[in-house]
């Protein structure tokens, strides 16, 4: 059985002081969680959050990671820098990175590879736009993105990854894929992995749903057999809301 994983993506929210308050509130609320719990603050919050999480069941994640160990990459952050902050997860290829900052399937693959080499678990995001969904090419898009993200990975490396299916049209809009639709698309993603590595590896990879999961719909989504967790946006910015998702 795959252990569920709930990760909070804070995006560009929370000053260090606000982050500290949120984490102090959150720690007791999720201390007995049955799933893996991850928070992914902005880079400026990693140090303060990382210190607060020591000795807790909450893991620290970053919102991206660069593929080079160092160099002239203004605005980027390396695996060693993240490790020094206590980071053990990194979101890779979020749709907002793809849409606004030029992320491609190739750079997603390179970032995920760098994370794995540093023993940081990549949370690799895949998902279709509204136009692609309306054109009936969702399965093709998510399969292509998944296979491209895993290019050159060994079976062991593939098993260590987490995938987040994020229908782009459902992020930050309040819209959510039906639980059945989300489950069906996640099954397509798992089938794409099986096509490359076989059923054993595909069955081991955890796949989250990342389209506006919140306290109201978490239990229904998490009841679906193919859905192994959530990549949570807005609901992760309030300790009470996030804890309710964690305890789906």
Sign of the alpha-carbon torsion through 27, 22, 39, 166:
positive
What is d(CA 33, CA 245) in angstroms, rounded to the nearest whole number? Answer: 10
Residue 208: name the closest of 66, 32, 1, 3 by CA. Answer: 3
What is d(CA 236, CA 26) in angstroms, rounded to the nearest whole number? Answer: 10
What is d(CA 41, CA 20) in angstroms, rounded to the nearest whole number? Answer: 11
Is 94 considered catalytic here? yes
Catalytic residue among 128, 159, 166, 220: 166
Q: Is the CB of residue 64 less than 8 Å from the CB of residue 40?
A: no
Q: Is the CB of residue 236 less than 8 Å from the CB of residue 18?
A: no
Catalytic residue among 94, 96, 103, 128: 94
> Which bin fits 102, alpha (ψ -120 to 50), beta or left (φ > 0)?
left
Tell how strand 5-9 and strand 162-165 pair up: unpaired
Is 247 considered catalytic here? no
**Which residues 6+ apart lie within 8 Å of 70 measured at CB?**
78, 80
Residues with catalytic function: 94, 166
């Amino acid at each position: 059985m795959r252990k569920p994983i709930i990760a909070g993506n804070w995006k560009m929210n929370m000053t260090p002081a606000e982050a500290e308050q949120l984490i102090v509130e959150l720690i007791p609320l999720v201390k007995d969680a049955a799933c893996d719990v991850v928070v992914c603050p902005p880079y400026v919050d990693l140090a303060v959050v990382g210190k607060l999480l020591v000795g807790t069941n909450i893991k620290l994640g970053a919102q991206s990671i660069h593929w080079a160990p160092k160099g002239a990459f203004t605005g980027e952050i390396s695996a060693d820098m993240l490790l020094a902050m206590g980071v053990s997860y990194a979101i890779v290829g979020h749709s907002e990175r793809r849409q606004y900052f030029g992320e491609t399937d190739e750079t997603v693959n390179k970032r995920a590879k760098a994370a794995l080499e540093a023993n940081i678990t990549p949370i690799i995001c895949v998902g279709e736009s509204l136009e692609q969904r309306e054109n009936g090419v969702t399965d093709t898009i998510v399969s292509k993105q998944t296979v491209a993200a895993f290019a050159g990975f060994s079976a062991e490396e593939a098993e260590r990854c987490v995938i987040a299916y994020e229908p782009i049209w459902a992020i930050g809009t309040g819209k959510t894929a039906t639980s059945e639709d989300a489950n069906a698309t996640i099954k397509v993603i798992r089938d794409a992995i099986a096509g490359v590595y076989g059923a054993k590896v595909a069955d081991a990879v955890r796949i989250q749903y990342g389209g506006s999961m919140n306290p109201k719909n978490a239990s229904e989504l998490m009841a679906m057999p193919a859905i192994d967790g959530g990549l949570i946006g807005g609901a992760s910015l309030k300790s009470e809301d996030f804890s309710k998702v964690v305890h789906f």
